[in-house]
Structure 1
Amino acid sequence: MVSTLLALALLAPSQTPAMPDYDVPAFNRCLDRLGRQASGEGVNSALFDLHVRTVTPDTSVLRLLDAQPEFKTPIWDYLAGLVDDERVADGQAMLQRHVATLARVQAEYGVDPATVVAVWGVESDFGRVSGSRPLLQSLTTLSCMGRRQDFFRGELIATLQIIQAGHVAADKLVGSWAGAFGQTQFMPSTFQRIAVDFDGDGRRDLVDSVADALASTANYLDRAGWRSGEPWGIEVRLPPDFDLAVSGRTERRPLSYWVERGVAHADGRAIDPASKPSALLLPAGRNGPAFLVFKNFDAIYAYNAAESYALAIAHLSDRLRGQGGLVQAWPTDDPGLSRRQRRELQTLLLQRGHDIGEVDGIIGSNSRAAIRLEQQRLGLVENGRASQGLLRALRSPTTATAEEPAAR
């Protein structure tokens, strides 16, 4: 007897299967080449067939690979979302919860707990948000399509080696579209070089082992040149006539050079004119906060080659040590929204009928499109920026909804 569900399916009009949005023969030829390359690097053919030959390409990653940023985040917005009171409180709780592990990590690698926990917080919100794309699908797609195929083939083979060695199960390997995974977001090839088994279970597991993730991060920073006991840098004050041409992370000079030119601590205290190499960082130009950065800043920068990222880690680590915020204000009358405020903004956008997806505090393309519509209705500059001014306007009960345009 045919089941009711199946009977209904048999009676329904036949549908033509959707055509794949990629060249199937070319993709299969690529898989053949990948199989030979993986075998040559010690990957079992049965494991390759199970995890790669069964993959259906995810061509959406190609758009991410080629995407040009549509919105450049101001440094004060970037830091407001990454270093807020919520993350500082969570980070201080993590320092207490993992105090014994972090002490062992510091003894082994020389990196202080606050810096390690700051990386953990920025990379995955302490393990809460580490990406959702299956690495095998993303990396197989990128190994056969788009730019930089050689690079992604290496990452795919490293992923297979991780599975084969039993470190992380295939179904646990989810992360960013480009292949970073785990609580502190390592690329697979970086995992192969840097990850450590710190909990002693015989596996290097950055997904489910906090100890392995924290120690692996410290090992990375140590290998990048971390100097134990030294600061990452200091906030400074520049004299009015200071020559900005000497600024830049790679323009290293002894501290005495800056002292001779009138540079002081941000609170006005004199800087000890030591010979320590340092560079002047001006992330928002002359009118914003200024920093003299040392070797440890470069080690953080190596983790993710962006000065704004390194500054976020450095600033969060200072906050976790109990220090206050920056002395010099950013050159803006709207210094950005915390994650709590961003979630509130997204909730208000949803209430006004905008389809932005989940309320997660992450201002992505859908949220920015909704913001532009609200800015247009309110007669504001249409830049897609999640601002304090927009949040205040949307909190007002008289603000127009998406169905009722505001008068201009």
Structure 2
Amino acid sequence: MFKRHSLSALILGTALTGCASHATTASATPTTNTTTAAETNTSTKQASTQPVEQADFNAWRTDFRAKALAKGIKPAVFDRAFKDVTVSKKVIKLDGNQAEFTRQIWEYLDTATSAARVSTGREKAKQLASTLSAIEARYQVDASVILSVWGMETNYGSYRGNTSTIAGLATLAFEGRRRAFAEKQLIAALSILQSGDVTPERMRGSWAGAMGHTQFMPTSYLEYAQDFTGDGKRDIWSDDPSDALASTAAYLKRFGWQHNAPWGVEVSLPKDFDYTQADQSNRQPVSEWQQQGVTTITGQPLPDYGKAAILVPAGAHGPTFAIFKNFYVIRRYNNATSYAMAVGHLAEKIAGGGEFVAKWPREERALSRSEKLELQRALTAKGFSTKGADGVIGPNTIKAIRAYQQSRAQVADGYASASLLEQLK
């Protein structure tokens, strides 16, 4: 889940991420997928811009070694893991990168659920039919969803990352911008080595510490990784993806996956629908939405899979969805709306589904990060406070946009568009 490490993160921007880490959070908009607003707005410390002194790293390592040993890591395990480990300038550079330009949600989905990825997913479904069937039976998580996460994270194992997990996390910890996080993951990685599940040489993955076919962070590995093959090792690094796929299923199950239920369904909203209700946190009984006139996109009654929220990822001018429990479970794997939609939609396509019915507003260009900052500052200047400007369109900005739209008697869908920015200038 740190991709990018995995492919899906590279599409929308670069950041320290983690899929099955869930140590990070992200905006509920398709403009970022793994960093928090605070992290995005944090300046990279001097260590990431000035030459790194190996002596300083050695001093940090000595201090960290004492911490690791105090946590129960054996000296021999630590010393072998850190043998020849030096600071990675590549990791520091990647961690310091701040993507200026992002893609629209439909562009992201075009790539994430491409014909090639769907085709490969169906091929893998056939090749691993018995394994996937057994995993689905044991964990009650749909095989198509397991395949989808695998496809999103590493393109079905074709790119799992080749950075030493110890070296990557040690560099992040030494750099200091997220030292507590990185050191926690390092302790977990050393615990994995101590358990004998993998050797330091094979423990490789993304630059930010995510490992294996479905990109587990070390702390998540310790809690959720599975030995599905029964060989005594939870080997998510093996060319055989069985343990990794089972681990993903175990993770999703732990957070409440509902078997044979959708992540969401495309819907049609009544003309007088109050778009201020279209909020992921506004989960209501399906009967409430039915009473308001919400139907499926084909005009059928909205199915009841428990409480649902209305999602308008492109505002009032694109596909609209009723999202259910499974959408939120996917977000536990990677806390981004775009990612959750991509996993759900790719799974549907692998299982034989097609494209969404409503069309995306493809004429609408994406705002750059600097333009998002400009938008936030402009809204605040006009009396619609975004409670800070960080270039991330989160709940506070969406609330401000809606208040501005309501003041202008516009549809209050909260969508941060280029046309809205022009209005504010």
* TM-score (norm. length: structure 2): 0.71
Shift of 1:333: 4.7
Q: CA deviation at 1:23?
A: 3.1
Equivalent residue, structure 1, for 2:154? 124
Please point out which of 161, 167, 175 is paired with 2:191.
161
Structure 2 equivalent of residue 149 of structure 1: 179
Matched, 1:326 2:338: no
- What is the CA distance between 1:22 and its match in structure 2? 1.3
1:264 equivalent to 2:300? Answer no
Q: Which residue of structure 1 aligns with residue 254 of structure 2?
A: 223
Between 1:214-223 and 1:35-44, the stretch displaced more is 35-44
Please give the secondary structure, in 1, of the residue aligned with 2:316: coil
Aligned counterpart, 1:253 = 284
State the shift of 1:334 in Å: 9.0
| Structure 2 partner of 1:66 | 96
2:245 corresponds to which residue?
Answer: 214
Distance 1:275 1:326, change over 3 A: closer
Letter in structure 1 aligned against 2:61 = L
Mapped to 1, the partners of 2:280 and 2:208 lie a distance apart of: 27
CA RMSD of aligned residues (A): 1.9
Identity of aligned residues (%): 39
Higher RCO (CA-CA < 8 Å; seq separation 6+): 2
SS at match of 1:280: strand
Whichever residue aligns with residue 31 of structure 1, its letter is R
Offset at residue 195 of structure 1 (A): 0.3
Which runs of no fewer than 5 residues in structure 2 stay unpaired? 1-49, 367-425
Q: Could you report, residue by residue, the CA deviation over 1:198-244 in whole angstroms, capped at 9, with x for unpaired residues?
A: 00010001111311011000000001111223221111111222111
Q: Deviations over 1:288-312 (max 9, x none)?
A: 1111111111111100000100000
| Correspondence 1:181 to 2:227 | no
Distance in 1 of aligned mates of 2:222 and 2:151: 23
In structure 2, C-alpha distance between the alignment counterparts of 1:74 and 1:135, rounded to whole Å: 32
Deviation by residue 1:74-111 (Cα, 9 ceiling, x = unmatched)? 10111111101111111111111111111111111110
Secondary structure at the counterpart of residue 161 of structure 1 = helix
Match of 1:297 in 2: 327
Q: State TM-score, norm by structure 1.
A: 0.74
Secondary structure at the counterpart of residue 153 of structure 2:
helix
The answer on 1:35 being equivalent to 2:35 is: no
Q: CA–CA distance in 1 between the matches of 2:193 and 2:293?
A: 56
- In the aligned structure 2, how far is the partner of 1:44 from the partner of 1:144? 21
CA contact (8 A) 2:314 2:361 kept: yes
Checking the alignment, whether the CA contact within 8 Å between 2:104 and 2:365 is kept in structure 1 is: no
Q: Take 2:264 and 2:205, find their aligned partners in 1: how far apart are those partners?
A: 31
In 2, distance between residues paired with 1:303 and 1:44? 31
Cα drift, residue 53 of structure 1: 5.1
Given the alignment of the two structures, is residue 285 of structure 1 paired with residue 315 of structure 2, yes or no? yes
Number of residue-to-residue matches in the alignment: 316
- Could you say which residue in structure 2 is the equivalent of 1:310? 340
Give 1:138's aligned residue: 168
**Alignment-mate amino acid for residue 91 of structure 2:** V
Tell which structure's C-alpha radius of gyration is larger: 1
Q: Which amino acid aligns with 1:212?
A: D
SS of the aligned residue for 2:315 comes to coil
Which residue, out of 213, 220, 232, partners 1:190? Answer: 220
What is the CA–CA distance in structure 1 between the aligned matches of 2:80 and 2:179, rounded to whole Å? 21
Q: Distance in 2 between matches of 1:250 and 1:53?
A: 47
Partner in structure 1 of residue 200 of structure 2: 170
Match for residue 76 of structure 2 among 26, 46, 61 = 46
